[in-house]
Amino acid sequence: MLDVRKRQNAAPFDTARLDRLMDDAGIDMLLATSKHNVQYLLGGHRAFFFESMDAMGLSRYLPVFVYAKGAPEKAGFFGHRMENYQNEVKPFWVSEINTKNSGSVDVIEKAVDYVRRLMPKPRRIGAELAFLPADSSATLRKAFPDSEIKDALFVLERLRACKTPEELEKLRIASDAVIDSMLAVIGSHGAGATKTELTEALRREETQRGLTFDYCLIAAGSSLNRAPSDQTWEKGDPLSLDSGGNYHGYIGDLARMGIVGEPDAELVDLLAEVESIEQASMQPIRAGALGKEIYVAADSVLHKSKLHNHIQFLAHGMGLVSHEAPRLTNSGPVPYDAYDAERPLEAGMVVSVETTLQHPRRGFIKLEDTVAVTARGFEVYGNRARGWNRAGGAS
């Protein structure tokens, strides 16, 4: 066993910041149960046995990280019995570990027992309500009937808002690998390839580059449908690839365009218009700039377009999940409160900016970029292949 003294004060995150966030939210005891937040709080741990599936027998995998405000040296982790192997290889930093569980009830019972040891009657417990199964929630509420159960999603999102250099490097690697994968697929396919074939090829390319393939939204020709299908990519057709692939949990989420043959003048102009909005949106990005400035800059170009009714701009934070802090808008396809619109951006935040043209005749034309906020400006990850990328297969 690792000496507990060696674990103390070894938290891989800013404990003082978490304490402040919990205090602001009125939370005394925190139980994190989402895979991404447990990964963050444990310093990178991901249960290898549950990478792609949470179901297990009659229950499901549920990790539980316990943190008492102001006491990082007493943090605990409660996980599945398979995770004991990983703890043996790379011991978790926390002082209390129980990896002898197999479902969503027994693990929360062990966590509840530990909470009682730390704080017999916690007044306010923070839990990830969207990531807490009903049976786990019932067990928690039964154990602490007099406690207020509060949602901790916002607290944990704010904790992750500014990325470390190590996190930024993972996002850079993921972004570059997604772009390389897209170029490989476009360059090896041509007229007659189906959207399903192209999607599967992208899955293989991303996997070969060390990514976990998450999704591909794909559109071809004049159709605005973005699901894989038997529709074929033909000569002169635009192809939109919008894919997320993650590297150790950190998401590379970008969109680029392909074409079989040469784009005509109209397609060249349409993509240039999308690009002009993308570039405008990035210019204000820097530490200290208000989040809303991104939208102001993008809208100043977008509203001048004759096609503005068919163009949509979106900016959102990203990292371990594809929509997180900074929260920049309360409208659009993924609305949430615009918490960061009137607040300054901070160095280490990461923003995805995406401009989508759904043309009534020419189809789906889109660019999406991953932008890291720096002290003096911004850095674009995967900043390549922004024009019409030519198919390389037989046509």
Query: Integer distance in angstroms from the first to the last C-alpha of the chain?
Result: 63
- Do 142 and 181 fall into the same domain? no
Residue 326 lies in a domain: yes
Please give the pLDDT value at position 336: 84
pTM of the model: 0.94
Domain boundary among 133, 159, 185: 159
Residue 39 lies in a domain: yes
Tens place of pLDDT per residue across the chain (395 aa):
333 334 444 899 999 999 999 999 999 999 999 999 999 999 999 999 999 899 988 999 999 999 999 999 999 999 999 999 999 999 999 999 999 999 999 999 999 999 999 999 999 999 999 999 999 999 999 999 999 999 999 999 999 999 999 999 999 999 999 999 999 999 999 999 999 999 999 999 999 999 999 999 999 999 999 999 999 999 999 999 999 999 999 999 999 999 999 999 999 999 999 999 999 999 999 999 999 999 999 999 999 999 999 999 999 999 999 999 999 999 877 778 999 999 999 999 999 999 999 999 999 999 999 999 999 999 999 999 999 999 996 43
- Do 240 and 369 fall into the same domain? yes
- Do 199 and 311 fall into the same domain? yes
221 phi-psi bin (left φ>0, alpha ψ -120 to 50, beta other): left
- Do 35 and 90 fall into the same domain? yes
- Do 127 and 178 fall into the same domain? no
- Do 31 and 142 fall into the same domain? yes
- Do 151 and 253 fall into the same domain? no
Domain boundary among 126, 159, 192: 159
Please give the pLDDT value at position 386: 98
- Do 330 and 223 fall into the same domain? yes
Strands (E), the chain: 29-32, 55-56, 59-60, 64-68, 76-80, 96-101, 124-127, 148-151, 193-194, 212-220, 232-233, 238-247, 250-259, 311-317, 350-359, 363-373, 378-381, 388-390
- Do 212 and 154 fall into the same domain? no
Residue 395 lies in a domain: no
Residue 271 lies in a domain: yes
Phi, psi of 107 (to 5 degrees): -70, -40
Residue 33 lies in a domain: yes
- Do 196 and 152 fall into the same domain? no
Domain that holds residue 174: 165-390
Residue 279 lies in a domain: yes
- Do 293 and 261 fall into the same domain? yes
Residue 29 lies in a domain: yes
Domain boundary among 159, 178, 208: 159
- CATH assignment of the domain containing 72: 3.40.350.10
Q: Say how many domains are in the chain.
A: 2
Residue 187 lies in a domain: yes
- CATH assignment of the domain containing 317: 3.90.230.10
- Do 193 and 138 fall into the same domain? no
Please give the pLDDT value at position 7: 47
